[in-house]
Amino acid sequence: MTENALTIRGLNKVYKNKVVALDNIDLNVGMGDFFALLGPNGAGKSTLIGILTSLINKSAGKVQIMGFDIDTHFSCAKSQIGLVPQEFNFNSFEPLIEIIKSQAGYYGLDRKSATDAAEDCLHKLDLWDKRKHTPRELSGGMKRRLMIARALVHDPKLLILDEPTAGVDIEVRRSMWELLSKINGEGKTIILTTHYLEEAENLCKSIAIIDHGKVIIDTSMGNLLEKLNEESFILYLQYPLKGTPILKDFQFKLINKKTIEVTLTNQKSLFDLFSLLNDQDITVLSIRNKSNRLEEMFIKLTSNKSN
Ligand code: ADP
């Protein structure tokens, strides 16, 4: 079992109001993995993270973190996890170095080790110059880095991030992606929840999708992307169409006279499509993906259940 960073068996959570938030979940997260946990609102992601980080009590099931059972080896299991919650929850008036040192103290590091670990984290997260500043003086991106620095100070093996890039601009998001890849490359196992499927596709090696408290997909990212056999494109035409084009074997719809949406399956390529259009003297000016492939599949998988 210990080659998994996280092993979950038959995990259930029923809240007092009888809502079944997790319904017999089984999941493995391998050591060193970068794991995406996706699901629509209300799927059970926060409940699952809450149980892993001992903020929420489970109703039934087994959870092992780096081989430590959360029921029988609670403190060992807890010390293996670093959590980056969605909301900033530090004291905005305390200097960064103190925020991180107190967290290290909370995990039982003595003063000297806490100071060393805090300084090390500030360097790693590129916050050293700001160590005497307070969070109020930081940019949004720096605040997020502070949350990560604090989560890493006790050197956990498993880092859990709950929507780390929610509401940040694209530049900060990209630099977060770089940072998280680097942390993963240095050997930390990472689990993240995100609403940005592009984020999961870019960063993660494995993916689980939960919906209504059940795991509906649990596979490698590569495997999932390979299975996505449909991709939709929007084609912008040079001239207005005179009639409906003949695109046998393609699903398509006319958005307007100069725009067509075409869905490709595994059997057909863009080359096939362009040849057909070319034969009918239809010139394509530009083309774009309708949405990210993972997004399309996610919508298909969950749309008929989540209303
Ligand atoms: P997600 O994080 O995927 O949006 P949650 O874990 O927050 O999902 O919620 C899963 C389900 O449990 C939802 O139906 C939600 O309304 C319910 N729920 C969450 N927290 C509580 C709670 N403290 N008491 C009762 N029901 C809850």
For residue 8, is pLDDT > 90?
yes
What pLDDT score does 138 carry?
94
The yes-or-no verdict on residue 304 having pLDDT over 60 is: no
Give the number of residues written for the chain.
Answer: 307
Residue 32 tokens read as: 């060193």
Is there an atom of ligand 1 within 6 Å of 15 CB?
yes
What's residue 236's pLDDT?
Answer: 96
Q: Is the pLDDT assigned to residue 95 strictly greater than 90?
A: yes
Q: 101-147 pLDDT, tens per residue?
A: 999 998 989 999 999 999 999 999 999 999 999 999 999 999 999 99
Confidence tier at 307 by pLDDT (50, 70, 90): very low
At 115 the pLDDT is: 96
Instruction: Give me the residue label for tokens 């998001």.
Output: 173
Our answer on whether the CB atom of 57 is closer than 6 Å to any ligand 1 atom is no
How are beta strands 251-256 and 259-264 bridged, if at all? antiparallel
Task: Give the fold, CATH level 3, of 230-301.
Answer: Alpha-Beta Plaits (3.30.70)
Mutational test site, ligand 1, from 13, 19, 211, 212, max ligand atoms within 8 Å of CB: 19
pLDDT in tens, 181-240: 999 999 999 999 987 878 898 999 999 999 999 999 999 998 888 777 778 899 999 999
**Atom from ligand 1 closest to the CA of residue 41:** 4
Q: What is the pLDDT of residue 186?
A: 95
Structural tokens at position 188: 């930390």
Strand segments, DSSP code E, in 150-294 are: 158-162, 189-193, 206-211, 214-220, 231-237, 251-256, 259-264, 284-289
Closest-CA residue to 67 (of 26, 17, 6, 109): 6
User: Residues 224-252: pLDDT tens digits?
Assistant: 887 777 788 999 999 999 999 999 889 99
> Could you tell me if 56 and 63 are in contact, meaning their C-beta atoms sit under 8 angstroms apart?
no
Contact indicator for 95, 135 with CB cutoff of 8 Å:
no
Whether the per-residue pLDDT at 149 is higher than 70: the answer is: yes
Kindly report, residue by residue over 106-119, the tens digit of the pLDDT: 898 999 999 999 99
Which of 292, 289, 251 shows the shortest CA–CA distance to 273? 251
Determine the pLDDT at residue 98: 96
The answer to whether 29 and 206 have CB atoms below 8 angstroms apart is yes
Q: What is the helix (H) or strand (E) element at residue 176, kind and residue range?
A: helix 170-185
Tell me, in angstroms, the distance from the centre of ligand 1 to residue 47's CA. Answer: 6
**Cα(307) to centroid of ligand 1, in Å?**
15
Q: What is the pLDDT of residues 266-283, one digit of tens each?
A: 678 899 999 999 999 999
Whole-number average pLDDT of the chain:
91
Q: 15 CA distance to ligand 1 centroid (A)?
A: 8
Q: Is the CB of 193 under 6 A from ligand 1?
A: no
Class of domain 4-226: alpha beta
CA angle 31/214/166 to nearest 5° reads 65
Cα separation, 67 vs 73, in Å, equals: 9
Query: How many angstroms does the Cα of residue 268 sit away from the middle of ligand 1?
Result: 42
User: What confidence tens digit (pLDDT) does each residue in 37-81 have?
Assistant: 998 889 999 999 999 999 999 999 999 999 999 999 999 999 999
Mutate to test the pocket of ligand 1, among 12, 15, 194 (most ligand atoms within 8 A of CB): 15
Domain spans of the chain, in order of start: 4-226, 230-301
Q: How far, in Å, from the CA of 11 to the mean position of ligand 1?
A: 15
**Residues above pLDDT 70, as percent of the chain:** 97
Residues 6+ apart with CB under 8 A from 217: 207, 208, 209, 224, 301
Beta strand 68-69 with 81-84: parallel, antiparallel or unpaired?
unpaired
